[in-house]
Structure 1
Amino acid sequence: MNFTQKMVSIDTHSITIDSLTLPFYDYFQVIEENGISYLLGFNRQQVSLDFIPLDGDSIPIRHIFFEEDGPGSIEADLDMFWYFNSDSIVMIQDRSKRMKVFNVRGELLSAPAVQLRDNKGTQLYPVAYAHQGQRPIFETSNWILPVYPDIDVASANYYKKDKFVVWDPVTNEAKTTFGAYPEVYRGDAYYDILREPTLTHSHRSTYLVTFPADPSIYEYILDSSNVVQHHYPKLKQYENVGVKRYADFQQFVNHYISSAWFQQVLFDPYRQVYYRFLKEKQDLINPQGTKNTALDAQWKILIMDKALNVVGATDLDTQTYNPMFTFVRKNGLYIFSNERKNDDEMVFGIFNWEEE
C-alpha cells in the first residue's frame, strides 16, 4: 500500500501514579471537568473508578471505591460505565436486570430496571468487549449499546441479529437495532471473539460499524434503513476466513494469534481524520519454538480522511505500544507505551501524521 501520509511519534507523556492506580486500563473514558482533563479507568483489581489527571502531577489521583457486597456492589468484570457528571455515573453489568447509578462518593443513587428486547421479542444483554475496542456511545436521549441476543453464539441464528441497540434510558425502551453481521459471518466459518464489531460516532453524526474479519466499514444513519458500505479492495488480503463453527477452544486461540483482523476506528476531531487499527497475519510459533501472542504480530494504523478513504498507513511497534489502550487529544493520538522506567508511572506515546 502506497500512501501520501504516515504517522510519526512526536513525544512521550508520563503520568505519575500511586500504588492503587493501574498502569493500564482496558475500559476507560477521557473527560474534562473544571478545566482539568482526566483519564477515568475502571480498576478491576481494586474494583474502583480511578480519576487520573492527564496534565501535571500537582492534582492528586482520586478513587471511587465500591462496596464488595450488597446493592451498591460492583463486580470486577463490569462491562460498561459512563461518567455523565458527579451525580450520574452509570454502571452496567452483563446479564444484570438493573443498571446502577452512583455519585462520586460511590453511593448508589438508583438501580433502574433494564429490559432490552428486539422487535421479535428476543432478550438482549448489554456487553462491551473493551479489549477489542468495543464501546457503547452514551448520548442525552439515546444510549447505543453493544448487545448479544439470548441465543447460542455458535449457532447460525446468532448472526442474523443486529449487534447494537438504541435505547431510551428515560422510557426504558429499545427504539431500534442496527449493525447487521456481513455475509462473511453468515457462512460455515466461525470467529469466536473476532465476531465482535466496534462502533464509532462519525463527524457527520452517523455511526460507523466495523467487524474484525471484514475490511469494509458500514455507515448507519439512525431512523433510516439506508446503510452505506465503504469498500476497500486494497485491504482484501486482510480478510479473515475463520475456523470451523464447532472447533475447540484452542483452535480459536491459535486463530486469534495467527490470523489478520481489524481493531477499532477512532475519529480525530482536531486533525479531521480517522484511525483504524489492523493486525497482520503471523506464524503461530516463533523461531524460538514458543507460541506468539497477538501483540507479537505486525500492526498497522490506517489513516482515513473524512470521506473514509485510506490516505496513509504506518507500522506500529507493538513490542513498545499497545493499541488496546489509545485515545485522541488535541496534541495527538495517545497510545499506551510498555516502556516505563518506574513502577509509579503510566506512559503514552503521542503520534501525529505528516505528508511524505
Structure 2
Amino acid sequence: MRRSTFLFLWVTIFFSCESKVDGVKQEESLRIHSLSVPELDLFSFRISHVKEDTLFFVDEAGGSLSKFSLVDQSLSQVELKLVGDFRPSKLYYISADSILFFDGAGLLLYRDGGADQQTFSLFERLSELEEDVYAEYPYERIANSLVYLPNQKSVLFYFAKADASKKRVFATYSLETKTWTSLPVYHPADFDGVALDYTTFPSVAVGQSGFAFIYSISPTISSYSFETAEQVEVSISSFEGKQFAEPQTRRDSWDQVYFQNWVLTSPNYLKLLYDPYRKVYYRFSQEALGKEVPLEEDHYTFLLRNRQLYLTVLNEVLEVLGNYPLEKGKYDPSHAFVFSQGLWIPYAAELMEKEAVSGDVFSLDQ
C-alpha cells in the first residue's frame, strides 16, 4: 500500500476560554512514518492496553494474554485461567505479575500468574453514591482500556443520565478499600441544566496529576486536578464555523433521517489522548459537513471521504501547540494510542491491508 505523508500545517489557532482568536503559545511540527502490525486484526485493539512499547490484548474468552512489541514486532502469549466464568471486556496491564480486568459488572485483579486472584463487585456499595452522581451504574467505555489510577490504586468510572440537575459525573473505585469516592467534576458549564442522555459520553485522558475529558458535541476540554480538586474548562476551536452540536436529549424520538442529518451537520470531537513522553494532549475533531449524502452512496463511506479530521496538540495547561488537518478519508482515530515513538493512528478500515493492521506514527519535533 502506498504510504502518503501528506499533511498540512494550519498555523492559525483559535484558543481561549471564550473561543476567541488568541495566537499560538508555541509552534511544533510533526514527523510521520508508517507502522504496520502484522498478523493482527482490529480485534486485538478491542480488549487491549498499551503500556510503554508493548500492546497487551486478550481473546473474548479470556483464555490467553498476548504481548506484542511495537518496537521489534515480536509476539508472545501466556495462558490465563480466570476464575469462574469471568469474561473480560477491558484490561489494564499494571505489571508482569498484576493485571486488572473488567467484565461490565466487576473487576478481577489477576496476580502471580493466576495463583492469586481477587474479584470486586462494583454494585455492592454503589448506593453510597446515589445522591452524588447521575446514574445507578458506572460506565467504562471512556477509553480503549480501563482508566486505572496507579497512584490511588483505583479505577475511574463515568456516570450519566438524562437529568437536568447538577450532579457529579466521575467517581473512583478503590481496590484497597473496595469503596467508591465521587469527584467534584461536573458536566461542562455549557450544559448546565441540560439533560444529557446516555448517548453523550466523554473521552478521558489521564495526565501527570489529574485527568482531562471532552464530550463529542462540544469544543470544551475539561481538566481535573487531584492536587487542587478543581475543575478547569477551556474551549478550543480547531476549525472555523459551527462549534457545538445539538445535545442528544431527545434521541429516542429521532428518526433515521433526522439522525443522519444531525451527524452531517454537527461538529464531532472524537478522542482525547495524553502523551506522557512529550507531556502533551492530543485531540481529534471533525468539522460539520455542509453536504448531503448522494442517494447512491453509503452514508459512512461518504462521511469518511468528505469530513475533515483535525489533530490538535496541547500542553498540560491546555494551551494549543499546533493544529493539523489530516488527509481526508485516510484515518480512523478510534483505536489510536501513544507509545515511545509517538502517536499511532490506524488507517480507515477500507484502506487496511488484509494481512496487517496499518497506520501512521505522528511524532513532534522537539
User: Do the two structures share a fold, i.e. TM-score over 0.5?
Assistant: yes
Contact kept? 1:166, 1:175, Cα under 8 Å: yes
Q: How much is the aligned-residue C-alpha RMSD, in angstroms? A: 3.5
Aligned residue in 2 for 1:351: 362
Aligned residue in 2 for 1:73: 86
Moved more, 108-117 or 42-51: 42-51
1:12 equivalent to 2:16? Answer no
Contact kept? 2:271, 2:284, Cα under 8 Å: yes
- Separation in 1 of the partners of 2:60 and 2:291? 30
Aligned residue in 2 for 1:218: 222
Contact kept? 2:164, 2:195, Cα under 8 Å: no
- Separation in 2 of the partners of 1:249 and 1:7? 43
Aligned residue in 2 for 1:299: 309
1:167 to 159, 162, 173: 173
Q: Identify the structure with bigger relative contact order (alpha carbons < 8 Å, sequence gap 6+).
A: 2
Moved more, 316-325 or 297-306: 316-325
Contact kept? 2:219, 2:243, Cα under 8 Å: yes
1:196 equivalent to 2:204? Answer no
- Separation in 2 of the partners of 1:111 and 1:202? 27
Contact kept? 2:64, 2:80, Cα under 8 Å: yes
Contact kept? 1:218, 1:227, Cα under 8 Å: yes
Aligned residue in 1 for 2:16: none
- Separation in 1 of the partners of 2:63 and 2:169? 28
- Separation in 1 of the partners of 2:231 and 2:364? 30
1:331 equivalent to 2:346? Answer no
Cα 1:317–1:137 shift into 2, 3 Å? farther
Aligned residue in 2 for 1:137: 148
Cα 1:329–1:206 shift into 2, 3 Å? same
* Per-residue deviation, 1:38: 1.5
- Separation in 1 of the partners of 2:298 and 2:91? 34
* Per-residue deviation, 1:350: 1.0
- Separation in 2 of the partners of 1:24 and 1:288? 35
- Separation in 1 of the partners of 2:213 and 2:145? 10
Specify every segment of 5 or more residues in structure 2 that has no aligned partner in the other structure, as ranges: 1-9, 14-23
1:317 equivalent to 2:327? Answer yes
Contact kept? 1:254, 1:284, Cα under 8 Å: no
Summarize the alignment of residues 42-81 of structure 1 with structure 2, pairs less than 5 Å apart: 42-44=58-60, 49-57=65-73, 59-62=74-77, 64=79, 71-74=84-87, 78=89, 80-81=90-91
* Per-residue deviation, 1:300: 0.4
Provide the aligned length of Structure 1 versus Structure 2.
332
Specify every segment of 5 or more residues in structure 1 that has no aligned partner in the other structure, as ranges: none
- Separation in 1 of the partners of 2:77 and 2:328? 30
1:177 equivalent to 2:183? Answer yes
- Separation in 2 of the partners of 1:141 and 1:307? 22
Q: What letter corresponds to residue 136 of structure 1 in structure 2?
A: V
State TM-score, norm by structure 2: 0.75
State TM-score, norm by structure 1: 0.77
